[in-house]
Amino acid sequence: MNNQIHISFPAIPINEGVARMVISGFLMGIDPTIRELEDVKTAVSEAVSNAVIHAYPGGCGEVRMHATLDENKLELTIEDDGVGIADVQKAMEPMFTSCPKAERSGMGFTFMESFMDTLSVQSNPDEGCCVCMTKIFGKTDAYEM
Ligand SMILES: Nc1ncnc2c1ncn2[C@@H]1O[C@H](COP(=O)(O)OP(=O)(O)OP(=O)(O)O)[C@@H](O)[C@H]1O
Ligand SMILES: [Mg+2]
Protein backbone atom coordinates (compact mmCIF):
# COMPACT_ATOMS: atom_id res chain seq x y z
CA MET A 1 0.00 0.00 0.00
CA ASN A 2 1.26 3.50 -0.79
CA ASN A 3 0.06 6.47 1.20
CA GLN A 4 1.33 9.71 2.70
CA ILE A 5 0.35 12.35 5.23
CA HIS A 6 1.68 15.77 6.10
CA ILE A 7 0.55 17.53 9.24
CA SER A 8 1.75 20.61 11.07
CA PHE A 9 0.98 21.68 14.59
CA PRO A 10 2.25 24.04 17.29
CA ALA A 11 5.02 22.77 19.55
CA ILE A 12 2.87 22.27 22.65
CA PRO A 13 2.89 19.17 24.87
CA ILE A 14 -0.60 17.89 24.00
CA ASN A 15 0.48 17.46 20.39
CA GLU A 16 2.90 14.68 21.34
CA GLY A 17 -0.19 12.54 21.96
CA VAL A 18 -1.90 13.85 18.85
CA ALA A 19 1.09 12.88 16.70
CA ARG A 20 1.10 9.39 18.26
CA MET A 21 -2.59 8.94 17.43
CA VAL A 22 -2.10 10.20 13.88
CA ILE A 23 0.77 7.82 13.15
CA SER A 24 -1.18 4.91 14.68
CA GLY A 25 -4.14 5.59 12.41
CA PHE A 26 -1.85 6.01 9.41
CA LEU A 27 -0.28 2.59 9.99
CA MET A 28 -3.55 0.70 10.48
CA GLY A 29 -3.73 -0.02 6.75
CA ILE A 30 -0.67 -2.28 6.86
CA ASP A 31 -1.76 -4.15 10.00
CA PRO A 32 1.43 -3.69 12.07
CA THR A 33 2.25 -5.92 15.03
CA ILE A 34 1.69 -4.35 18.45
CA ARG A 35 5.42 -4.17 18.92
CA GLU A 36 6.00 -2.45 15.56
CA LEU A 37 3.29 0.06 16.38
CA GLU A 38 4.69 0.76 19.85
CA ASP A 39 8.18 1.23 18.40
CA VAL A 40 6.99 3.85 15.92
CA LYS A 41 4.80 5.62 18.50
CA THR A 42 7.76 5.82 20.88
CA ALA A 43 10.00 7.26 18.17
CA VAL A 44 7.34 9.84 17.27
CA SER A 45 6.94 10.77 20.94
CA GLU A 46 10.65 11.29 21.36
CA ALA A 47 11.04 13.40 18.21
CA VAL A 48 7.96 15.54 18.87
CA SER A 49 8.78 16.01 22.55
CA ASN A 50 12.25 17.19 21.53
CA ALA A 51 10.67 19.86 19.33
CA VAL A 52 8.30 20.84 22.15
CA ILE A 53 11.00 20.98 24.83
CA HIS A 54 14.13 22.13 23.03
CA ALA A 55 13.28 23.85 19.75
CA TYR A 56 11.53 27.02 20.86
CA PRO A 57 12.81 28.18 24.27
CA GLY A 58 10.47 30.81 25.63
CA GLY A 59 8.17 30.58 22.63
CA CYS A 60 6.20 28.22 20.46
CA GLY A 61 6.72 27.46 16.80
CA GLU A 62 5.66 24.93 14.22
CA VAL A 63 6.36 21.22 14.05
CA ARG A 64 5.76 19.24 10.85
CA MET A 65 5.36 15.50 10.53
CA HIS A 66 5.50 13.78 7.17
CA ALA A 67 4.91 10.06 6.82
CA THR A 68 5.18 8.06 3.63
CA LEU A 69 4.34 4.40 3.22
CA ASP A 70 5.74 2.57 0.24
CA GLU A 71 4.44 -0.98 0.54
CA ASN A 72 5.87 -2.05 3.92
CA LYS A 73 8.45 0.74 4.24
CA LEU A 74 7.69 3.77 6.40
CA GLU A 75 9.62 7.01 6.00
CA LEU A 76 8.92 9.43 8.79
CA THR A 77 10.17 12.99 9.08
CA ILE A 78 9.63 15.30 12.05
CA GLU A 79 10.97 18.81 11.69
CA ASP A 80 10.91 22.19 13.36
CA ASP A 81 12.22 25.68 12.64
CA GLY A 82 13.70 26.24 16.09
CA VAL A 83 17.09 26.91 17.61
CA GLY A 84 18.73 23.85 16.06
CA ILE A 85 21.66 21.81 17.33
CA ALA A 86 25.31 22.91 17.15
CA ASP A 87 26.85 19.44 17.48
CA VAL A 88 24.47 16.77 16.21
CA GLN A 89 26.90 13.91 16.80
CA LYS A 90 27.28 14.90 20.45
CA ALA A 91 23.51 15.40 20.88
CA MET A 92 22.93 11.85 19.62
CA GLU A 93 25.25 10.26 22.18
CA PRO A 94 23.40 8.15 24.76
CA MET A 95 22.79 10.13 27.97
CA PHE A 96 23.80 13.46 26.48
CA THR A 97 21.33 16.18 27.44
CA SER A 98 21.55 19.94 27.41
CA CYS A 99 18.97 20.03 30.24
CA PRO A 100 20.34 17.94 33.12
CA LYS A 101 18.66 20.22 35.64
CA ALA A 102 15.27 19.42 34.12
CA GLU A 103 16.05 15.76 34.89
CA ARG A 104 16.07 14.73 31.25
CA SER A 105 17.88 11.47 30.65
CA GLY A 106 19.36 12.27 27.24
CA MET A 107 18.00 9.06 25.73
CA GLY A 108 15.57 10.41 23.12
CA PHE A 109 17.78 9.95 20.05
CA THR A 110 19.02 6.60 21.38
CA PHE A 111 15.43 5.34 21.60
CA MET A 112 14.65 6.60 18.10
CA GLU A 113 17.73 4.82 16.80
CA SER A 114 16.92 1.53 18.51
CA PHE A 115 13.19 1.41 17.74
CA MET A 116 13.47 2.40 14.09
CA ASP A 117 15.65 0.88 11.34
CA THR A 118 17.43 4.09 10.40
CA LEU A 119 17.75 7.54 11.93
CA SER A 120 19.31 10.65 10.48
CA VAL A 121 19.34 14.07 12.10
CA GLN A 122 20.07 17.26 10.20
CA SER A 123 20.43 20.49 12.11
CA ASN A 124 22.39 23.69 12.36
CA PRO A 125 22.16 26.49 14.91
CA ASP A 126 19.10 28.66 14.24
CA GLU A 127 18.10 26.51 11.28
CA GLY A 128 15.73 24.10 13.00
CA CYS A 129 16.04 20.36 13.23
CA CYS A 130 14.98 17.61 10.83
CA VAL A 131 14.75 14.03 12.09
CA CYS A 132 14.26 11.37 9.42
CA MET A 133 13.57 7.77 10.35
CA THR A 134 12.65 4.67 8.39
CA LYS A 135 11.21 1.33 9.35
CA ILE A 136 10.38 -1.79 7.39
CA PHE A 137 7.33 -3.71 8.63
CA GLY A 138 6.74 -7.44 8.58
CA LYS A 139 10.33 -8.51 9.17
CA THR A 140 10.40 -11.77 11.09
CA ASP A 141 12.50 -11.64 14.21
CA ALA A 142 14.01 -15.00 15.03
CA TYR A 143 13.94 -14.38 18.77
CA GLU A 144 10.33 -13.19 18.80
CA MET A 145 7.46 -15.55 19.54
N1 LIG B 1 14.40 19.65 17.99
C2 LIG B 1 15.47 20.04 18.70
N3 LIG B 1 15.84 21.34 18.74
C4 LIG B 1 16.92 21.74 19.46
N5 LIG B 1 17.69 20.89 20.19
C6 LIG B 1 17.36 19.59 20.19
C7 LIG B 1 16.24 19.08 19.47
N8 LIG B 1 16.17 17.75 19.67
C9 LIG B 1 17.19 17.44 20.46
N10 LIG B 1 17.92 18.52 20.80
C11 LIG B 1 19.15 18.54 21.63
O12 LIG B 1 19.69 17.24 21.65
C13 LIG B 1 19.84 16.80 23.01
C14 LIG B 1 19.63 15.31 23.10
O15 LIG B 1 18.28 14.97 22.79
P16 LIG B 1 17.66 13.64 23.41
O17 LIG B 1 16.25 13.53 22.96
O18 LIG B 1 18.57 12.49 23.10
O19 LIG B 1 17.76 13.89 24.99
P20 LIG B 1 16.88 14.89 25.88
O21 LIG B 1 15.72 15.41 25.11
O22 LIG B 1 17.80 15.89 26.47
O23 LIG B 1 16.37 13.93 27.05
P24 LIG B 1 15.18 12.86 26.96
O25 LIG B 1 14.77 12.73 25.51
O26 LIG B 1 15.77 11.57 27.48
O27 LIG B 1 14.11 13.42 27.82
C28 LIG B 1 18.84 17.63 23.80
O29 LIG B 1 19.22 17.74 25.16
C30 LIG B 1 18.90 18.96 23.06
O31 LIG B 1 20.01 19.73 23.47
MG1 LIG C 1 14.48 14.13 24.08
CATH of the domain at 105: 3.30.565.10
Pairing label, strands 2-10, 62-70 = antiparallel
**What is the pTM (predicted TM-score) of this model?**
0.95
129-136 β-sheet, strand order: 2-10, 62-70, 73-80, 129-136, 118-123
pLDDT along the chain (145 residues), means of 10: 95 98 96 96 98 95 98 97 98 94 91 98 98 93 56
Beta strands in the chain (DSSP E): 2-10, 62-70, 73-80, 118-123, 129-136
- 145 within a domain of the structure (yes/no): no
Q: Give the pLDDT confidence score for residue 1 in this predicted structure.
A: 75
Q: Give the pLDDT confidence score for residue 141 in this predicted structure.
A: 62
Query: Do 92 and 121 touch, CB atoms closer than 8 A?
Result: yes
Q: Give the pLDDT confidence score for residue 103 in this predicted structure.
A: 84
Q: Give the pLDDT confidence score for residue 25 in this predicted structure.
A: 97
- Which residues have a Cβ under 8 Å from the Cβ of 37 and sit 6 or more positions away? 24, 27
Q: Give the pLDDT confidence score for residue 143 in this predicted structure.
A: 58
Q: Give the pLDDT confidence score for residue 34 in this predicted structure.
A: 96
Owning domain of residue 62 = 2-136
**Does the active-site annotation cover 50?**
yes
- 114 within a domain of the structure (yes/no): yes
Q: Give the pLDDT confidence score for residue 142 in this predicted structure.
A: 54
Best substitution site from 50, 81, 126 to test ligand 1's pocket, by max atoms within 8 Å of Cβ?
A: 50
- 18 within a domain of the structure (yes/no): yes
- 128 within a domain of the structure (yes/no): yes
Q: Give the pLDDT confidence score for residue 43 in this predicted structure.
A: 98
Positive or negative, the CA dihedral 56, 58, 62, 67 is positive
Number of domains comprising the chain:
1
- 143 within a domain of the structure (yes/no): no
Choosing from 46, 75, 127, 144, the catalytic residue is 46
- 113 within a domain of the structure (yes/no): yes
DSSP 105-124: -S-HHHHHHHHSSEEEEEE-
